[in-house]
A and B are shown apart, each in its own frame.
Chain A
């Protein structure tokens, strides 16, 4: 049943201060709407519980990508198009650039925002595993001021997050320290474009010299669409650190990954398929890390 626009209020105060004070006056009463690519879908289907909306689209304080030597700070209102087209993101954070390219078609990339993707909190969002492995930090703003929190434990359950009813995400910060890592991203969906993932993976890793050859050094692995929240596989990460890439390790990782996740059956896939694919993708990542090791060893010869 379609919604009747006469039942909804929407205002556009035009600056962050006014939006924040509105949220402070009536916490939880106003739903912020940025590019509308999620909110308007619910609205059209008559499933939007909020009746009062406040537009944060194009708020100047939420726009722009700031670069400093240590980090990049992405305004929460930046669109996927802006992420895709940004040189530093393409070069240093390719997992985020890939996720931006995978999310929707061009029209949705022109409107969908990174902040919106985080608060919409879909377990299938392609950008969230990338934020997990880059260990993003979020800047939250409210009438009480700003606070900076790690993204790692921001999502606590299905569509649940550590965001107060009077708070907005203002920016997403990524440390610029991953140039010597292998960046691995894979999405498995019904087709490449505009398909919501059955499973998606973002992973980062590097090797270091061990006593008898290269072993896995720092490593981060995150998956989407396989649990109520995007998941970092910390247990698997612990188990591969310090080990050489050998077929037995790859087999073990495949099994550990399938055991670490809680995939479900839904319209897009089955739990069994998701478990198998997730294991295979993480195994592929570890194998690729091993290949980089062989290349390095070749260089030394």
Chain B
């Protein structure tokens, strides 16, 4: 008994164990229920693709898919992610191959400094899953919650259009 309390220490008080599936892989973590999903992904699971930009749901750098829906992981207490299926940027490539969407971002110059890119890709992925043939207006709206300070957005819109054409042709 004393061994286990020494092992966990004072910091462990209030933590809970919860399971979630990340990029197809079942994971179990021991965390405080109010920890932000973003911090658990980055610190507990070592998935540092999702970035922290604003930390208040305005910039979209921390976007992930939760049960297929686009969410800002900085606004989710991890307890609410228990039992869900998550996709992060680390789960987007098809094995060693970049997905068509990722390749299009590179080809079109849609990725520059890279901070917004994981969120942009997840938001684009969510958009194309819901709407495989988006108009430019649909793309603008689908990505309106993701801010980029490098590209000026036009290359990103072109990348999404190219990926949509690729999907339609494939």
Contacts and interface: CB of A to CB of B under 8 A. Distances in A.
Contacts of B32: 5-6, 8
Contacts of A37: 57, 75
A209 B97 CA distance: 69
A55 B18 CA distance: 15
B74 interface: yes
Nearest to A3: B34
Interface stretch (B86-94, B105-113, B141-149): B141-149
A296 B76 CA distance: 51
B36 A44 contact: yes
B34 A108 contact: no
Interface in A38-87: 40-41, 43-45, 53, 55, 57-58, 81
Listed residue (A6, A43, A53, A106) with the most chain B CB atoms within 10 angstroms of its CB: A106
Interface stretch (A9-17, A159-167, A212-220, A280-288): A9-17
B13 to A, nearest CB: 8
Interface size class of B (residues with CB under 8 A): 20 to 34
Contacts of B34: 3, 5, 8-10, 43, 53
B80 A55 contact: yes
B144 A106 contact: yes
Interface in A182-201: 192-194
Contacts of B76: 36, 40, 111
Interface in B19-53: 31-36
Contacts of A43: 34
Contact of A194 (B13, B14, B58, B127): B58
Interface string B122-157: 010011000000000000011011100000000000
A78 to B, nearest CB: 14
A122 interface: no
B72 A55 contact: no
Nearest to B13: A6
B79 A105 contact: no
A110 interface: yes
A42 B82 CA distance: 22
A58 B14 CA distance: 23
A113 to B, nearest CB: 13
Nearest to B140: A193
A9 B14 contact: yes
Given A44-B55, A57-B80, A194-B145, A107 B33 contact: no
B102 interface: no
B145 A107 contact: yes
B70 interface: yes
A41 B79 contact: no
A55 B123 contact: no
Contacts of B63: 107
B22 to A, nearest CB: 18
A189 B11 CA distance: 45
Contacts of B71: 107, 110-111
Given A6-B11, A107-B145, A110-B70, A36 B56 contact: no
30 contacts: A5-B34, A5-B36, A6-B32, A8-B34, A10-B77, A36-B80, A40-B36, A40-B74, A40-B77, A44-B55, A55-B77, A55-B79, A57-B80, A58-B80, A105-B145, A106-B70, A106-B127, A106-B144, A107-B57, A107-B71, A107-B123, A107-B145, A108-B57, A108-B72, A110-B69, A110-B70, A111-B71, A111-B75, A111-B76, A194-B144
Given A5-B31, A40-B75, 11 more contacts: A8-B34, A36-B76, A41-B56, A53-B34, A53-B77, A104-B145, A105-B145, A106-B126, A107-B145, A108-B57, A111-B75
